[in-house]
Structures are given as structure tokens and as C-alpha cells.
Amino acid sequence: MVRTELRPVSQSWLIDWLRRAFARPTPRARVIAPAVVNPGSSLEVEWWIWHDAPEVTLVTVSLVGTEVAHRRISARTGISVVTETRPFLTLELDRQAPEDGSPVASGHVEAMVPSRTIPTLVGRLNEIRWAVMVEASFKTVTILRQEFPIAVVGASG
Amino acid sequence: MAIVLHIELDEGRAAFEPGARVSGTVAWLARVAPAGLELRLTWASYGPGGRDFKIANVISFDKPRAAERRPFTFTLPTAPYSFRGNLTSLVWKLQLVALPGEEKASVELTVAPDGEAIDVRTAAAGG
């Protein structure tokens, strides 16, 4: 599988806002992995995280499969769309406690994508999404949660 | 229009590998010949907000008589898979549709590796 630098889609706005409010630098993550994998195939992931502060005590990197359902609700104020998500698989790929004072942590791991799992599904209301998730925390507080989407596609033959 | 519609799968088999061939026979019985009949290979994903529905393939039976049996063969796509989740699920069906009234008969198919729907409700722990 060809590996490429994956683009992150999200970080919790609340985490971002809190860190900005308290003038804390926001950690940044970078992930190189295949953008497309098959069930049962190997997934090789290289990751880095820069945290510019000695407060990151744990970094975890996981492969996460999530069910996503969008639902329109009407209320007196109008119609809005509510999105529910439910992870169905969290496969921990790496876990590190960065060295004291080190501004960067990194890793290179290889794992197998489960052979019996649901491939990526794109839909208007119901979806299956896959991502490499990088999380950094200080004790029990998450200070970075970044998703790097990948596609899991069924074997074509 | 009263019409009896029936789908019969070869060997009574309803579970398949992605990309496999599905074959069988459709039959119908009506007082007058229907304007048309279609066999639709469909899938739908279900969730709390409703369903996404897709017709993956269609076989049209031309010039149908009032009562008839005809064989059919489809090649299944390689995706999506039949699955059951905590929030969503996906079901494949064959639908025999009489036109123009849209009377239907349907048969549920399982399309997944080993012919067994993937159940992630039991895989939540991460295996």
C-alpha cells in the first residue's frame, strides 16, 4: 500500500478554545499512512506530535472505525441536523509517554486491519468512517484529538 | 391490479461472497399481463434518521405474459457488505416489481465475506 501524509479533519473546538483561552500552545500531529487499506491487510503508520510544552504525559495512536448517522430534527426554531457517532472498533496502534522536556514524540508501527470488519460507507444519512486517531493527554485531560481519515475498502476480487 | 410475484434463488441460497453470482427464477401470475416487470438488486442502510437506498442493478423482463417464469443472474458488486451495528445496519434485497403499480416481492440477501453479515455489535471491544 502506498503511504502518504494524511490530512487531519478535526480537533475538538472545545479543546482548541480552552487552550487558546489559557494561552497554551496547541500540539500538532502528523501522520503518514496508506490512504486506502483492505480488511485483513497490514497498516503501517508513522506519526509525530509536536507539543511545544512539557505537559504531554501520554500519546496514543489508534485505528478507529465509526458508525455515523445523521438525523433531521424539527423544532419550533426550525430544522437542524443532528449527527450521532458510535465507534465500533478502536485498535490501539501505539502508546507512548514522551520523555520529560522533549518537545516531540514519534513512532512507527505496523498492525493488521481486522479481516472481518465493515468497509467505509458513504451515504446521505448513514456512514461508516475510518480514521487514524492521534490523542495527547496531560494526566486525564485530553489536549489533542486529531483524526486522519483513511478508506477501508473491500477486496475487489 | 392483483398480481402474485415470487422470487426463488437457486439452491435456496441467500448468502453470498461480494462479487459472487446470484441466480434463480422469478415467477408471476396475474389476470392480465403486467406492463412490465423488473428485478432490482438493492441495498439500504438504516439508521435513526432513516435509510439510504440504492438500486445497484436492474433486470427488465420484456413483454411479460400474464403468468410466466423466467431465470435471472446477477453479479454482485464487491461492496458494500451486509452488516449490523449499534447505530446503523445495511441490508441487500432482490425486489421483483410489477409496473406500473409497483407491487413488489422481495428476498433478503446477505453479501459479506464468508456469506455472513458482519456484526460489529459483538466487536465493540476492539477485536
Residue B8 has pLDDT above 50, yes or no: yes
Please check whether residue A22 lies inside any domain of the structure.
yes
From chain A, the residues in CB contact with B45 under 8 A are 121, 123, 125-126
Residue B88 in domain: yes
Residue type, A16: D
CA A120 – CA A157 distance, rounded (Å): 17
pLDDT confidence of residue A78:
74
Q: Is residue B127 part of a domain?
A: no
Provide the shortest C-alpha distance from residue A88 to chain B (in Å).
5
Question: Tens of pLDDT along B97-119?
Answer: 998 877 899 999 999 999 999 99
Residue B80 lies in a domain: yes
CATH number of the domain at B106, please: 2.60.40.640
**Domain assignment of residue A36, yes or no:** yes
- CATH number of residue A13's parent domain: 2.60.40.10
Residue A71 lies in a domain: no
pLDDT band at A16 (very low <50, low <70, confident <90, very high): low
Q: Which domain holds residue A14?
A: 3-63+87-117+131-147
The count of structural domains within chain B is 1
Å from B76 to nearest chain A CA?
Answer: 11
Cα separation values, A81 from A74, A116, A128, Å: 9, 31, 18
Residue B62 belongs to what domain range?
3-122
pLDDT (tens digit, 9 = 90+) per residue, B73-95? 999 999 999 999 999 999 999 99
Query: What does the pLDDT read at residue A140?
Result: 82
User: So what's the pLDDT on residue B9?
Assistant: 97
Amino acid occupying residue B109: L
Strands B89-99, B103-111: pairing kind:
antiparallel
Chain B positions touching A82 (Cβ under 8 A) are 49
In a domain? residue A17 = yes
Of all residues in chain A, the one with the smallest CA distance to B79 is A154
Q: What is the pLDDT of residue B127?
A: 41
Give the total number of structural domains in chain A: 1
Q: Is residue A100 part of a domain?
A: yes
The pLDDT tens digits of the residues spanning A17-31 come to: 666 666 666 778 999
Residue B126 has pLDDT above 60, yes or no: no
